[in-house]
């Protein structure tokens, strides 16, 4: 009991100062105002609720000392960096380009100089709104963890967190200041697109409630992701590990909540533990709905399904209920995660300072570490380097993801044994379900997760050596530059070798049950290796040209997402021009290009084109020639990625040689080097030695001048 009281006194010191009472009043006001808004929510409109919540949070921030001087310092430092202005300008330019594309899509049915008819103006504005909200949500979900997760971890890597903790700043002032500065910068990015969207209100067709709901959902998602990211930044030693943990928590929640719907598929499972005579107040279906309250994909599917049914309630009545549940879920995460970070900041920092990082033995150590052979760089990267150090929270999420990925196997086996065992098409139905849920859903998700781990590992290959101050020592060895780079590249590809057991188990289940063709298994393995080779090269490139591991990891993740789906943006920009009537273009051109784009997309290639079975070749895909054509386009896309991986390797090798100083300096193209002047022969002037005359003999004692002139006289 005394230890508990001592901990409470250290964590929550009591003071009777004016500022302390203001803090307590602010906390009481926030809690009371939040309860009042929750109770009065049915009586207020959606816009009024959003406005009151914003005013309540602003009043709490200004009346209490939640933020310290670190917030002002970070805001000034971020405002002086030109790259954030450039990012916002590029984002606004991209939104305007997307608006032009939607306009051309509506006017390219005939000629390019045609305008949007007045009766289609509302549909035009509605189409752009949904596309705008989708792009904005995707951007903030990708950027937020990579941007916020390095807030505290960067201070740890620079060894400056100890100096901050030595001041009289409180934990909440440090953590919340770091969090608020980055969230405010992200809010500026979100507000960049508001003027573009506001101009569409004059065209009609967009409900203002949808606009408010879209921005509220985006801000709530940013808040929860930022809270998880700042928690990961406090828990992890390095920024790269914090970024990985942040994405892992987000992906883990989406995957676990999405797969939980499988628990309601078997007959009788949804109403468990209810009985015909006793209805349970809480069933499995209720738990699944509560778990999916913050899953944006699940919320959109349920909202669309409920409003599309005949005789259903209008959207104005259904939307506030889903928005309230979504807000409660993400608000709880946005508050609890930073609170955990505040309470554990100093304890974790002191623990990390007092004890060095110890390497934990791998869980699946099937073989011993081999001896150092003829390839020391490969041995170092594959067997000696520890790679990512995931916190125990991340390890728990990985274990849950492994277990959740086999939930479809259990559900399909239960249905097969209980429902289809006596039917004639039992094996065919088993193969279809296994292909859909085990191979294409779970298998594709696991494959993409392993590919992301390869990219993250490669992004810290060169910058990690620079941070540890071992790059100079590595360059002084007799190893060639390509040998060093190849070891880094191969180590990144083989870093996911323990995850191959997980992925191979899912593909093996599909192969045994008939949900995957043996040739498809070989094609899937080859396709994954090609994608891994490209991502390893991409991460190595950014690790070579970047100064810090955080910057290299951020650019690698952003460019990975852009490379996976960015070519669709280019294709969408070109579609309106191709829609125009032109006798030079064949009619099948759009279909060919669309299928090739599908083959270039890793998720489509792994989840559809390369995961086929023998029965799929008798079906047709969208009126095309069949599944064989989609497999061919998938192979063409894989070959394209292989060519890009080779080109990226060449560029990275050349750049690494230049940075390492192992190539001669080459002038820029178009600049002719100045001709060297011929060296003139050196003229060595030899000074003549002065003539030395013989000295006169010294006169003997007693000699006279006459004797010296005539010489001595004989006697």
Instruction: Identify whether 3 is part of a domain.
Output: no
| pLDDT value at 666 more than 60 | no
Instruction: Identify whether 700 is part of a domain.
Output: no
Q: How many residues does the chain have?
A: 715
- 57 and 163 part of one domain: no
**What would the two tokens of residue 239 be?**
């920024």
How far apart (Å, rounded) are the C-alpha atoms in residues 365 and 367? 6
- 329 and 456 part of one domain: no
Provide the mean pLDDT of the chain.
78
pTM for this predicted structure: 0.77
Q: Report the domain count for the chain.
A: 3
CB burial string 131-154: b at 16+ within 10 A, e below: bbbebbbebbbbbbbbbbbbbbbb
| pLDDT value at 239 more than 60 | yes
459-492 pLDDT, tens digit per residue, is: 888 888 887 778 888 888 888 888 899 999 999 9
CB 579 within 8 A of CB 569: no
How far apart (Å, rounded) are the C-alpha atoms in residues 387 and 458? 10
Tell me which of 642, 661, 680 is where a domain ends. 661
Tell me which of 403, 437, 463 is where a domain ends. 403
To which residue do tokens 């408010």 refer?
Answer: 212
17-31 pLDDT, tens digit per residue, is: 666 676 667 667 767
- 393 and 413 part of one domain: no
Mean pLDDT of 410-431: 72
- 313 and 431 part of one domain: no
- 185 and 301 part of one domain: yes
| pLDDT value at 39 more than 60 | yes
Q: What are phi and psi of 170, to 5 degrees?
A: -80, 165
To which residue do tokens 């809010």 refer?
Answer: 187
How wide is the angle at C-alpha 571 spanned by C-alphas 570 and 572, nearest 5°?
90
How far apart (Å, rounded) are the C-alpha atoms in residues 364 and 424? 42
- 311 and 399 part of one domain: yes
- 197 and 344 part of one domain: yes
Cα of 103 vs its chain's centroid, Å: 31
605-635 pLDDT, tens digit per residue, is: 998 888 888 887 764 444 444 778 888 889 9
Mean pLDDT of 560-565: 86
**What would the two tokens of residue 72 be?**
């002002």
Q: Which residue has the higher pLDDT, 645 or 308?
A: 645
Instruction: Identify whether 233 is part of a domain.
Output: yes
Instruction: Cite the DSSP H helix spans in 583-697.
Output: 589-600, 602-604, 627-660
120-171 pLDDT, tens digit per residue, is: 777 777 778 888 888 888 888 888 988 898 888 888 887 888 888 888 888 8
Instruction: Identify whether 629 is part of a domain.
Output: yes
Residues 6+ positions from 525 with CB-CB distance below 8 Å:
none
3-state class (DSSP) for residue 579: helix
**What would the two tokens of residue 131 be?**
């596309």
Domain that holds residue 432: 406-661
Instruction: Identify whether 341 is part of a domain.
Output: yes
Instruction: Identify whether 367 is part of a domain.
Output: no
Least confidently predicted of 106-120, 312-326, 354-368:
354-368
- 456 and 503 part of one domain: yes
> How confident is the model at residue 226, as a pLDDT?
93
- Alpha-carbon separation of residue 200 from 107, 125, 139, 142, 195 (angstroms): 17, 6, 21, 26, 9
Mean pLDDT of 283-302: 88
> How confident is the model at residue 360, as a pLDDT?
52
Tell me which of 621, 645, 661 is where a domain ends. 661
Q: Rounded to a whole number, what is the distance in angstroms from the first to the last CA of the chain? A: 135
Give the HSE-up count for residue 391: Cα atoms under 13 Å, Cβ half-sphere: 23
Mean pLDDT of 285-289: 87
- 348 and 424 part of one domain: no
> How would DSSP label each residue in 434-471?
IIIIIIIIIIHHHHHHHHHHHHHHHHTHHHHHHHTT-H
How far apart (Å, rounded) are the C-alpha atoms in residues 691 and 526? 92
Instruction: Identify whether 80 is part of a domain.
Output: no
Instruction: Identify whether 551 is part of a domain.
Output: yes
Mean pLDDT of 390-401: 82
Residue 608 gets which letter from DSSP? I
How wide is the angle at C-alpha 595 spanned by C-alphas 636 and 304, nearest 5°?
135
Q: Which residue has the higher pLDDT, 564 or 115?
A: 564
Burial class of residue 271 in the structure, from the number of CB atoms within 10 Å of its CB (0-12 exposed, 13-18 middle, 19+ buried): middle
Q: Which residue has the higher pLDDT, 97 or 456?
A: 456
Helix 426-433 with 407-418: angle, nearest 10 deg = 170
Q: Which residue has the higher pLDDT, 352 or 388?
A: 352
**What would the two tokens of residue 393 be?**
């929270």
- Helical (H) or strand (E) element with 134: helix 121-148
- 397 and 468 part of one domain: no
- Alpha-carbon separation of residue 328 from 35, 322, 400, 574 (angstroms): 12, 10, 24, 42
> How confident is the model at residue 623, as a pLDDT?
40
How far apart (Å, rounded) are the C-alpha atoms in residues 608 and 590? 20
> How confident is the model at residue 705, as a pLDDT?
46
**What would the two tokens of residue 449 be?**
């997760």
To which residue do tokens 């015909």 refer?
Answer: 276
Least confidently predicted of 193-197, 396-400, 630-634, 662-666:
662-666
- 424 and 344 part of one domain: no
Q: What are phi and psi of 452, to 5 degrees?
A: -65, -35
172-191 pLDDT, tens digit per residue, is: 888 988 998 899 888 888 88
- 438 and 559 part of one domain: yes
Least confidently predicted of 172-186, 340-354, 372-386:
372-386
């Amino acid at each position: 009991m005394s230890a508990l009281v001592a901990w409470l006194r250290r964590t929550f010191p009591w003071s009777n100062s004016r500022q302390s009472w203001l803090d307590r009043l602010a906390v009481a006001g926030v809690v009371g105002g939040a309860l009042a808004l929750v109770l009065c929510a049915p009586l207020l409109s959606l816009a009024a609720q959003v406005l009151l919540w914003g005013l309540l949070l602003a009043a709490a921030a200004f009346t209490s000392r939640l933020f310290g001087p670190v917030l002002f310092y970070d805001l000034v430092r971020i405002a002086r960096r030109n790259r954030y202005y450039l990012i916002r300008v590029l984002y606004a330019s991209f939104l305007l380009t997307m608006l032009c594309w939607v306009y051309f899509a509506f006017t390219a049915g005939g000629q390019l100089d045609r305008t949007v008819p007045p009766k289609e103006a509302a549909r035009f504005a509605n189409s752009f709104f949904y596309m705008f909200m989708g792009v904005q949500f995707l951007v903030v979900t990708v950027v937020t963890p990579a941007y916020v997760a390095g807030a505290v971890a960067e201070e740890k890597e620079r060894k400056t967190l100890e100096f901050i903790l030595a001041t009289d700043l409180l934990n909440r002032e440090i953590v919340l200041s770091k969090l608020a500065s980055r969230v405010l910068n992200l809010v500026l990015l979100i507000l960049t697109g508001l003027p573009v969207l506001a101009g569409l209100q004059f065209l009609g067709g967009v409900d203002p409630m949808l606009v408010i709901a879209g921005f509220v959902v985006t801000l709530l998602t940013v808040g929860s992701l930022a809270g998880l990211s700042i928690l990961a930044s406090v828990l992890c030693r390095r920024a790269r590990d914090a970024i990985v943990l942040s994405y892992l928590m987000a992906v883990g929640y989406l995957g676990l909540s999405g797969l939980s719907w499988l628990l309601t598929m078997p007959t009788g499972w949804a109403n468990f533990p209810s009985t015909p005579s006793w209805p349970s107040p809480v069933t499995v279906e209720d738990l699944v709905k509560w778990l999916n309250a913050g899953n944006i994909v699940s919320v959109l599917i349920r909202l669309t399904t409920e409003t599309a049914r005949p005789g259903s309630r209008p959207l104005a009545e259904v939307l506030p209920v889903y928005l309230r549940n979504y807000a409660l879920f993400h608000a709880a995460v946005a508050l609890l995660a930073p609170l955990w970070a505040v309470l554990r900041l100093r304890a974790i920092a002191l623990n990390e300072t007092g004890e060095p990082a110890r390497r934990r033995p791998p869980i699946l150590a099937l073989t011993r570490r081999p001896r150092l052979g003829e390839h020391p760089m490969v041995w170092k990267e594959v067997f000696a380097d520890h790679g990512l150090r995931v916190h125990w929270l991340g390890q728990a999420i990985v274990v849950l993801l492994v277990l959740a990925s086999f939930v479809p196997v259990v559900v399909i086996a239960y249905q097969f044994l209980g429902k289809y065992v006596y039917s004639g098409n039992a094996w065919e139905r088993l193969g279809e379900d296994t292909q859909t849920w085990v191979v294409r859903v779970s298998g594709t998700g696991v494959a993409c997760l392993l590919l992301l781990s390869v990219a993250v590992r490669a992004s810290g290959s060169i910058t990690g050596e620079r941070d540890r101050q071992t790059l100079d020592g590595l360059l002084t060895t007799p190893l060639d530059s390509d040998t060093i780079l190849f070891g880094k590249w191969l180590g990144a590809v083989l870093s996911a070798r323990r995850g191959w057991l997980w992925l191979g188990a899912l593909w093996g289940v599909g192969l045994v049950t008939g949900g995957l063709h043996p040739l498809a298994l070989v094609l899937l393995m080859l396709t994954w290796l090609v994608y891994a080779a490209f991502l390893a090269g991409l991460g190595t490139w950014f690790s070579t040209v970047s100064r810090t591991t955080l910057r290299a990891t951020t650019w690698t993740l952003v460019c990975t997402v852009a490379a996976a789906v960015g070519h669709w943006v280019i294709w969408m920009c070109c579609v309106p021009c191709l829609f125009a009537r032109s006798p030079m273009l064949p009619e099948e051109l759009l279909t060919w290009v669309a299928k090739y784009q599908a083959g270039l997309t890793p998720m489509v290639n792994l989840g559809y084109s390369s995961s086929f079975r023998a029965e799929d070749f008798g079906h047709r895909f969208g009126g095309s020639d069949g599944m064989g054509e989609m497999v061919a386009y998938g192979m063409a896309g894989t070959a394209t990625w292989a060519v890009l991986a080779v080109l990226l390797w060449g560029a990275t090798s050349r750049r690494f040689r230049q940075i390492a100083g192992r190539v001669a300096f080459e002038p820029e193209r178009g600049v002719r080097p100045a001709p060297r002047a011929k060296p003139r022969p050196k003229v060595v002037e030899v000074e003549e030695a002065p003539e030395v005359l013989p000295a006169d003999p010294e006169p003997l004692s007693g000699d006279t001048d006459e004797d010296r002139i005539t010489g001595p006289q004989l006697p």
